[in-house]
Structure 1
Amino acid sequence: MTAVAGTAKTLAESAYLRIRDAIRGGALPPGTRLRFAELQDLCGMSVTPVREALTRLTAEGFTTVEENRGYRVAPLSIEELWDIARSRQLIEGEALRLSIAKGGADWEGALVSAHHLMKRIARTTQQAPTVVDEDWNHRHNVFHRSLILACGSPILLSISESLYDRADRYRRLSWAIPDNPRAIEEEHELIFKSALARDAEAAVTYLRVHYERTAQQVEAFLLNKAQPDVSI
């Protein structure tokens, strides 16, 4: 029984990750009706783990469910955009402050490494300047997590990770802006140097500004009803 339960859990986790990544990457756009047969083909598995995955995705805000109408990809909204941004500013700001206070040499080393690796590759692909390189996206995630990794609170880290995932669909919109005027690399550099210098006030301020600018750009896009290419 234990082996069977473990296999079912693994399948549900796999289905969750595949559907979530399709939503985050734009393969399943906001508002798309989610049909079980199509999701089973996407995941390569039976309906049960797909159903479990959708239940989890709905709880996390990636999908919605309508009585007698089934599931849809959750729409994007300015209200949710700012709710996520403000929550990240509060949660990650406090986590960063704690991390700077508590972090030792190991934390510094991990942060330096994460920042260096993120800078080593271009943010967008050569073929499509408005499409983010997925390797860079992964390194970007590692950098932001490294900033707060020494906070000493598993709960703060868990909430931060969940908010990061919720923000991803919106973040990709900001990356997809043609001729984006933001110097995102410089924003990361300011956060990084302030954290290493143990200047918590400056680091937290730069992090807040970083998230504020992203939200402002996405809000402008949504208000203009822009439809950028955010596919992987």
Structure 2
Amino acid sequence: MEQKRTGSRTLAGDAYEAIRQAIGAGDFKPGDRLRFADLQTLCNMSVTPVREALARLTAEGFTVLDDHRGYSVAPLSLEELRDVTATRQLCEGEALRLSVLNGDADWEARLIAAHHLMVRIPQVRDDMPTAMREDWEVRHAAFHAALVSACGSPILLEICEKLFSRADRYRRLSVSLDDGARDVAGEHRRVMELALARDAEGAASALREHYGLTAAALEGFFAV
């Protein structure tokens, strides 16, 4: 039976968002055991929606279930990083290419507005330069969503959204390892400018390169 709704969402959906955000923010680290009592306190909910949220998080790869230990945060791995990166390059690159070909003036306006909002605030926290600002991450997600929003395929958009979320923990880790040599803002601007110039292949290539640079920055971390 569907859980009681809060607004237009279920309690299980709210629990899913709360737990996923806590994992993304590093409150629960890779390998940490997830105890129901702690998650109920975090979500301020009964065990049923929390259990449903964990089932969804496990299906999406954020958590794992062990018969003996219960639920825990999924580990990070070089193999998954490479898989997620390659799949994003394939799917989001194609979604952007289609958006450039199909996008109208409204799509251009969404893209310009999303980029403007993203660059208005810094990427990292003032008190912790190795941590990403949550408000920047929201705007960053909106920018990437705007890039592919005119692809014309709801299924492809759903896949892109899930891949973006799946890459979240790796993206946050790459920020903590940033040595200042990479110009992420410049990479975003280049992708946008190529898209607005209607260079479909160039924009898709720049986006694939953007994801590849994030993966390359993490290769050394996993090699240690």
- The answer to whether structure 1 residue 7 and structure 2 residue 2 are counterparts is no
The DSSP-based 3-state class of the residue aligned with 1:61 is coil
- In structure 1, the partner of 2:97 is 97
Contact 1:171 1:218 in 2 (8 A): no
Deviations 1:99-143 (A, max 9, x none): 001100000011011111111111112222111111111111111
Q: How does 1:1-232 map to 2 (within 5 A)?
A: 5-7=3-5, 10-224=10-224
Once the two structures are TM-superposed, the CA of residue 6 in structure 1 deviates from its matched residue by 3.9
- Once the two structures are superposed, what CA deviation does each residue of 1:49-93 show, in whole Å capped at 9, x if it has no partner? 111111000000000001132111000000000100000000001
| Residue 166 of structure 1: how far off its partner (Å) | 0.4
Corresponding residue for residue 228 of structure 1: none
Give the secondary-structure state (helix, strand or coil) at the position aligned to 2:5. Answer: helix
CA RMSD of the aligned region, Å? 1.5
| 1:33 aligned counterpart, secondary structure | coil
Structure 2 counterpart of 1:26, which letter? Answer: G
Structure 1: unaligned runs, 5 residues or longer: 225-232
SS of the equivalent of 1:34 reads: coil
1:154, distance to aligned residue in structure 2 (A): 0.3
Kept after mapping to 1: 8 A contact 2:3/2:11 = no
Aligned partners of 2:146, 2:120: CA distance in 1, in Å? 17
CA distance in structure 2 between the partners assigned to 1:111 and 1:11 by the alignment: 32
Q: Is the 8 A contact 2:107 2:149 kept in 1?
A: yes
- Give the TM-score of the pair, scaled to structure 1: 0.92
Number of equivalences: 222
92-101 vs 116-125, greater mean Cα deviation? 116-125
1: CA distance between counterparts of 2:182 and 2:30? 26
Structure 2 gaps of 5+ residues are none
